[in-house]
Structure 1
């Protein structure tokens, strides 16, 4: 019950136990086409280029950034937590010129500040995280694509922690590339990364591939000029593999594709609106229960993620001792924190298969016992009823 990964849905695990298929087997390529169709509504898009990157969520982040930007390009990062910093680290390795517009951890960057920064910097790419689990905040994305197009920039969003749990409106927001992972709201294992790419971004990626093929290796030996992208993370090559051409790029991770396919089937079978409502109910119940235990909730309420809730560790309580007790006595994992929040807050996830009433009530009952055994003067018997009431108020 931490910020992810979470327990995979049993249907996903069963799907992943099926026999392997060759990567060019017609049944396998049929599954690839199904995956593309299944993930379009989950991303809120009609994009042709909606597919999977074989690797963890970070593989799709890196593939996107190295295929959009090249050395010397200016990239604006909207940074409000640990995973905004990850974007800057990847971009530094590319050799991009990085500008940031920042917010303190526990806040988001207001849209007017984002707009001002885009118009001032005029970047090649604008990159941000949607929901940053390190801070439990969700950055508003309405209008971001339009702001980027004003200055001719491409937009990239990491939705690893929110896809399948909060609405992602790729087309309506005008975002060029959105990526995610399975291990959070989609209820699967880490190791496959859904991605959607606009036609505009696809044209740029394919055009850049053709330009770079004409560059002699000697011309870039000193690091000047465009660099040819990574082979494994070259989106143009991966897109060729997912196209009707089926040009070989790598051996497809068949088992992970089965899992990703079933994650999407589960999500669409439940219905996206119902799924978003369930995550909102779970987040409200977790928040109400934590507050009833006497814990102060971290961060502002208006832009909080529905699937991850932070709570301040009470003064005088050993946060790691409580986490160890939860794990040792109840087999429940809750999250610690990064950076300036390390040792100061716990993070509680309620997402995907774990965004259920029973898991939340069990977690809160266990936490009550563990807080008491670690010397916190908790009021007994109030957390579960408070969480139950919050859940049912949204039913």
Structure 2
């Protein structure tokens, strides 16, 4: 199938649909988009200006500036227990979406299958399709904290299965995988000889004493794992579009070739700024301040959601909550549209994250505390006026 045909087969993102619709209306409180409301820390902006002044305005290496690859390697050793060669085992990319497609393209053959536990971020299945594969969706259950169990995965694995995509902390549920969870997934991957794409962009946004663990740090897993990450969420740099992938050298070599013939390289002065930021204590102080505020908001929204008569798994990470709206009698699309038009609150219908989740909605609490509280008041009034609570 030609790339143009694959593109025709992929529907637009429902997240963007509701974001765009909300943007065209007045007095909307948007809880739909997964973007930090914090500004990029000032010292990181200053580093970008410094990079410009120092002449980082030209092409960089296809693989990314060495100074940034080295700084990320230091961070990986310190925080993730992953020891890599910055020369050969890391690539700097334009955001963290791109390396998912790039990573799949390095090994996936036409028609091979990729297991994707649901509910799931909307980009994964399209990336598999564009890379020539077939996404195989694996439902998970709220009562099991939306975690994929090996018995579930075994029901969907086949001779054509080549890889598994995981996301922890998870978008849209806020689930965080424990070491035990990852060890079970690792055993499954080894047993079925699967590659793993591990999306870890929310790694520093965790609560209640949880600690993020990278599956590539487990014994023997590095050689079959492509770890995808970036700085959009960590340093509130969504518009800067800078990410990275860590993988065995044979994977990175192929990803560099794809980079070479698409984007050439990420913006060089931004790479300079991030390299400096990674070694600056102020950056990590800012990360911790943001994490604390996200936890404060998580506590508010989880408490209010349960008080108003809905229910939700308590997120352990990221900045999303995935309420169950079964009691309202509405499916997620109808609920979200009515909420937007009548209460002027934008959320994302659960069906955007998997067909099994049409009785859920996703709320992003990456908005100011006061605005979040106002949005929850509007949701409560909407439910009460409709006789749903």
Pairwise TM-score range, normalised by the shorter structure: 0.5 to 0.7
For the pair shown, which has the larger CA radius of gyration, 1 or 2?
1
Matched, 1:192 2:204: no
Distance 1:287 1:81, change over 3 A: same
Q: Is the 1:76–1:98 Cα contact (8 Å) retained in structure 2? A: yes
Instruction: Provide, for residues 197-233 of structure 1, a one-character-per-residue CA deviation record: whole Å limited to 9, x for no partner.
Output: 1xxx323564xx5xxxxxxxxxxxxxxxxxxxxxxxx
TM-superposed deviation, 1:4: 1.2
Q: Is the 2:92–2:266 Cα contact (8 Å) retained in structure 1? A: no
Report what 1:177 is aligned to: 226
Q: Is the 1:326–1:370 Cα contact (8 Å) retained in structure 2? A: yes
Q: Is the 1:71–1:96 Cα contact (8 Å) retained in structure 2? A: yes
Report what 2:19 is aligned to: none
Trace 1:1-395 onto structure 2 (pairs within 5 A). Answer: 2-7=32-37, 8-11=39-42, 12-18=44-50, 19=52, 21=56, 22-23=58-59, 29-49=66-86, 51-72=90-111, 74-83=112-121, 86-96=123-133, 98-103=135-140, 108-113=146-151, 116=154, 121=159, 123-138=161-176, 141-143=181-183, 144-160=185-201, 162-166=202-206, 167-173=212-218, 174=221, 176-190=225-239, 191-197=241-247, 201-203=248-250, 206=253, 234-235=255-256, 250-258=264-272, 260-261=274-275, 264=278, 265=280, 269-270=284-285, 279-280=294-295, 282-292=297-307, 294-298=308-312, 300-301=313-314, 305-311=317-323, 315=328, 319=336, 335-339=347-351, 345-350=361-366, 359-360=368-369, 362-371=370-379, 376=384
TM-superposed deviation, 1:63: 0.9
Equivalent pairs, count: 320
Report what 1:383 is aligned to: none
Q: Is the 2:67–2:272 Cα contact (8 Å) retained in structure 1? A: no
Q: Is the 1:334–1:346 Cα contact (8 Å) retained in structure 2? A: no
Distance 1:268 1:41, change over 3 A: farther
TM-superposed deviation, 1:296: 1.5
Instruction: Provide, for residues 158-213 of structure 1, a one-character-per-residue CA deviation record: whole Å limited to 9, x for no partner.
Output: 223x232141324434351111343334421241122221xxx323564xx5xxxx
Secondary structure (helix, strand or coil) at the match of 1:71 reads coil
* TM-score, reference length from structure 1: 0.63
Q: Is the 2:146–2:173 Cα contact (8 Å) retained in structure 1? A: no
Q: Is the 1:23–1:29 Cα contact (8 Å) retained in structure 2? A: no
TM-superposed deviation, 1:373: 6.6
* TM-score, reference length from structure 2: 0.64
Distance 1:31 1:157, change over 3 A: closer
Distance 1:125 1:134, change over 3 A: same
Q: Which runs of 5+ in 2 are unaligned?
A: 1-30, 207-211
Distance in 1, Cα, partners of 2:109 & 2:281: 38
Distance 1:124 1:364, change over 3 A: closer
Distance in 1, Cα, partners of 2:216 & 2:128: 25
Q: Is the 1:78–1:114 Cα contact (8 Å) retained in structure 2? A: no
Distance in 1, Cα, partners of 2:68 & 2:252: 25
Q: Which runs of 5+ in 1 are unaligned?
A: 210-233, 242-248, 328-332, 378-395
RMSD over aligned CA atoms reads 4.4
Instruction: Provide, for residues 41-98 of structure 1, a one-character-per-residue CA deviation record: whole Å limited to 9, x for no partner.
Output: 45442222564543232211111111132325x3331320243x64333223333355
Report what 2:209 is aligned to: none
